[in-house]
């Protein structure tokens, strides 16, 4: 079905001959949506914007959709949707298993590069934001009907492997490897790294690896295998999966070719023995090969991009990493723009730091980075304590299952509800609170809506005894929006489509969390004001369908955030 914003945008665009720039009205007093596109056209064609806006309004035929549009301020056009139209749209959404969200007419191919953990190092909370945000963006784009290719660009190549190889050969403790492989690998790395006198030997191991020495290659493969099986446990707990895991090592054989091609095209030049690309407007050049012949992170990223373009022909490539890599990606993108024609839309989706209560980057009490695994364990334990206190009568397995969904959900939601680029303070109490914009609140809101259907079902059996209309409402009835809070809820339901588009446009999952929070609020107001089960038909079925649609969108929305719903709490 066509969404509200599509209908309004298309009408304005037809009259204006330019983008409508439709936005929800900041103040509902002025209407539901406003079109901002007139001003730009007026400026370009040297017309009075208000006069132009009046002219556009007179050409619109939207009588079935909205009240007569009004012109405001410097030349905005405001639209207030008509109740009958909202009713018809929301009825169609209730009949649609996509809740009215259209499938993209022109599906794009989008590569999402996220997580990017490093082999033989613990996955820390710095990677959690990448994994959670990247997974959410991939889910939203997929649901919109795009072809999404997820790729985990793991750090599985580099100088650290010289030290790891040496440590493995000299100091390995097999029991420790068995018990906690990544911790043991980290210990070995630190052990060698601390000892200056072993540098040359570590370097020699690295050179052997790079030259394809079978023994070192086999050990290196073991490092990857051990690390990946640990990472997989975490991916499973988080419910993330990748289409590809093409790490840095995969591109290693391509690096000399990348450098040669960039030199040949005159994009890269030699400077002090190193091969560099000077990027206009950037403070430093991007070094792609050091004087000693070594390649760098950026060289690998250029090879990676070339491979992705050849392989998948993407329209967009999204990289999700922390904000400290901004310069890196600016440089890589700038080089890529000189190299490839045409070039897909390259976006660095960066995020801020997770801070402790003291306002400094979150660390353990001993000052180490917090391991993701420990964090998830604690989340589940804390959630379990809450469930145990609230619902001691539930079977243990059920309580654990709830705690898993709530604990992991809380961590994800706390992250996704932040404006991506700001740092935020990690607080267990806040993220596990039953009130406010949190996962438990949203999960509970879903449970509450669901409970209406159980009651409706009971009501059906006891009051009629003959089956009667279905617990979810008889779909033969259309949704009627009589009460203002009913209309309000329906309008919010219809905003799901544009919210997902905003998430995709800005790479910002927090538009979706804010939407769901508002949806829960509007539902509460509706439920307080509008009796559902006690109402007579056709109101009962109409309202039950609104409840059904709300629950479905909550479930879908949480699912797009990577969060599970539960049926009781």
Which residues contact ligand ARG by CB under 6 A? 113, 116, 118, 153, 155, 301, 304, 319, 321
CA distance from start to end of the chain: 35
- Residue nearest ligand ARG, Cβ-based: 116
Minimum CB distance to ligand ARG smaller for 153 or for 399: 153
DSSP three-state, residue 77: strand
Minimum CB distance to ligand ARG smaller for 36 or for 325: 325
In angstroms, what is the minimal distance from the CB of 226 to ligand ARG? 18
Q: How far apart are CA 464 and CA 521, in angstroms?
A: 32
CB 189 within 8 A of CB 171: no
For 206-262, what is the HEC assignment? HHHHHCCCHHHHHHHHHHHHHHHHHHHHHHHHHCCCCCECCCHHHHHHHHHHHHHHH
In angstroms, what is the minimal distance from the CB of 310 to ligand ARG? 16
In angstroms, what is the minimal distance from the CB of 351 to ligand ARG? 12
Provide the 8-state DSSP code for 198.
G
Matching residue, tokens 């949203």: 442
In angstroms, what is the minimal distance from the CB of 162 to ligand ARG? 18
CA angle 97, 102, 106 (to 5 degrees): 140
In angstroms, what is the minimal distance from the CB of 423 to ligand ARG? 17
In angstroms, what is the minimal distance from the CB of 373 to ligand ARG? 17
In angstroms, what is the minimal distance from the CB of 369 to ligand ARG? 12
In degrees and rounded to multiples of 5, residue 102 shows phi and psi of -70, 155
Cα dihedral sign for 377, 381, 382, 384? positive
In angstroms, what is the minimal distance from the CB of 249 to ligand ARG? 12
Q: How far apart are CA 243 and CA 235, in angstroms?
A: 13
In angstroms, what is the minimal distance from the CB of 202 to ligand ARG? 21
| CB-CB neighbours of 265 under 10 Å | 10
Neighbouring residues of 483: CB distance < 8 A, sequence distance ≥ 6: 526, 529, 530
Q: What tokens were used for 137?
A: 């963006």
In angstroms, what is the minimal distance from the CB of 328 to ligand ARG? 7
The CA-atom distances, in angstroms, between 44 and each of 20, 39, 48, 120 are 15, 9, 11, 58
Minimum CB distance to ligand ARG smaller for 90 or for 117: 117
DSSP three-state, residue 287: strand
Minimum CB distance to ligand ARG smaller for 42 or for 112: 112
Minimum CB distance to ligand ARG smaller for 301 or for 486: 301
538 prior amide bond cis, ω within 30: yes
Q: How far apart are CA 534 and CA 528, in angstroms?
A: 13
Minimum CB distance to ligand ARG smaller for 350 or for 523: 350
Neighbouring residues of 316: CB distance < 8 A, sequence distance ≥ 6: 108, 109, 110, 111, 344, 345, 346, 347
Question: What angle, 0 to 180 degrees and rounded to 10, lies between the N-to-C axes of helices 496-506 and 484-494?
Answer: 40
Q: How far apart are CA 225 and CA 561, in angstroms?
A: 29
Minimum CB distance to ligand ARG smaller for 153 or for 382: 153
Q: How far apart are CA 154 and CA 133, in angstroms?
A: 17
CB 562 within 8 A of CB 139: yes
In angstroms, what is the minimal distance from the CB of 194 to ligand ARG? 22
Q: How far apart are CA 29 and CA 315, in angstroms?
A: 39
In angstroms, what is the minimal distance from the CB of 191 to ligand ARG? 22
CB 263 within 8 A of CB 275: yes
CB-neighbour burial class of residue 569 (10 A; exposed 0-12, middle 13-18, buried 19+): buried
Residues forming a β-bridge with 361: 355
In angstroms, what is the minimal distance from the CB of 134 to ligand ARG? 10
Minimum CB distance to ligand ARG smaller for 12 or for 318: 318
In angstroms, what is the minimal distance from the CB of 300 to ligand ARG? 7
Minimum CB distance to ligand ARG smaller for 127 or for 508: 127
Beta strands 269-271 and 274-277 are antiparallel
Minimum CB distance to ligand ARG smaller for 216 or for 321: 321
Q: How far apart are CA 348 and CA 365, in angstroms?
A: 32
Minimum CB distance to ligand ARG smaller for 250 or for 496: 250
């Amino acid at each position: 079905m066509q969404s509200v914003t599509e209908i309004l945008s298309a009408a304005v665009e037809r009259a204006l001959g330019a983008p409508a720039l439709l936005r929800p009205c900041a103040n509902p007093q002025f209407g539901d949506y406003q079109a901002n596109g007139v001003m730009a056209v007026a400026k370009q064609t040297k017309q009075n914007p208000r006069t132009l806006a009046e002219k556009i309004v007179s050409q619109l035929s939207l009588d079935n959709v909205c009240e007569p549009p009004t012109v405001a301020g410097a030349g905005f056009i405001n639209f207030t949707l008509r109740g009958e139209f909202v009713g018809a749209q929301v009825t169609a959404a209730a009949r649609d298993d996509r809740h009215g969200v259209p499938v993209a007419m022109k599906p794009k191919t989008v590569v999402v590069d996220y997580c990017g953990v490093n082999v033989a190092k613990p996955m820390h909370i710095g990677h959690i934001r990448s994994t959670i945000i990247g997974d959410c963006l991939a889910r939203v784009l997929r649901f919109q009907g795009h072809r999404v290719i997820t790729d985990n660009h793991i750090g599985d190549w580099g100088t650290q492997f010289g030290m790891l190889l040496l440590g493995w050969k000299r100091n390995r403790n097999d029991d420790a490897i068995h018990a906690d492989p990544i911790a043991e690998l980290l210990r070995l790395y630190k052990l060698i790294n601390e000892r200056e006198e072993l540098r040359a030997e570590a370097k020699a191991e690295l050179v052997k690896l790079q030259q394809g020495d079978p023994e070192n290659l086999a050990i290196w493969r073991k490092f990857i295998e051990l690390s990946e099986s640990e990472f997989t446990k975490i991916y499973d707990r988080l419910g993330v999966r990748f289409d590809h895991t093409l790490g840095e090592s995969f591109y290693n054989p391509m690096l000399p070719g990348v450098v040669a091609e960039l030199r040949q095209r005159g994009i890269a030049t030699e400077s002090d023995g190193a091969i560099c690309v000077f990027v206009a407007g950037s403070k430093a050049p991007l070094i792609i090969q050091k004087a000693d012949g070594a390649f760098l992170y950026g060289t690998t990223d250029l090879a990676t991009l070339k491979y992705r373009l050849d392989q998948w022909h993407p329209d967009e490539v999204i990289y999700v990493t922390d904000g400290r890599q901004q310069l890196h990606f600016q440089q890589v993108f700038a080089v890529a723009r000189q190299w490839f024609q045409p070039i897909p839309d390259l976006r660095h989706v960066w995020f801020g730091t997770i801070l402790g209560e003291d306002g400094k980057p979150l660390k353990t009490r001993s000052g180490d980075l917090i391991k993701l695994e420990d964090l998830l364990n604690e989340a589940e334990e804390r959630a379990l304590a809450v469930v145990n206190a609230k619902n001691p009568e539930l079977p243990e397995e059920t309580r654990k299952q709830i705690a898993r969904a709530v604990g992991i959900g809380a961590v994800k939601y706390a992250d996704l509800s932040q404006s991506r680029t700001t740092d935020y303070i990690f607080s267990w109490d806040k993220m596990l609170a039953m009130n406010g914009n949190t996962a438990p609140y949203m999960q509970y809101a879903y449970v509450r809506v669901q409970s209406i259907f159980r009651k409706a079902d009971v009501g059906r059996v006891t009051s009629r005894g003959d089956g009667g209309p279905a617990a979810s409402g008889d779909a033969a009835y259309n949704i009627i929006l009589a009460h203002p809070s009913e209309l309000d809820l329906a309008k919010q339901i219809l905003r799901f489509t544009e919210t997902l588009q905003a998430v995709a446009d800005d790479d910002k999952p927090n538009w979706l969390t804010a939407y769901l929070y508002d949806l829960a609020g509007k539902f509460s107001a509706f439920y307080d004001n509008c009796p559902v089960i006690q109402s007579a038909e056709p109101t009962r079925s109409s309202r039950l369908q609104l409840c059904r649609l709300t629950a479905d969108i909550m479930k879908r929305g949480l699912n797009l955030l990577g969060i599970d719903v539960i049926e009781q709490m």
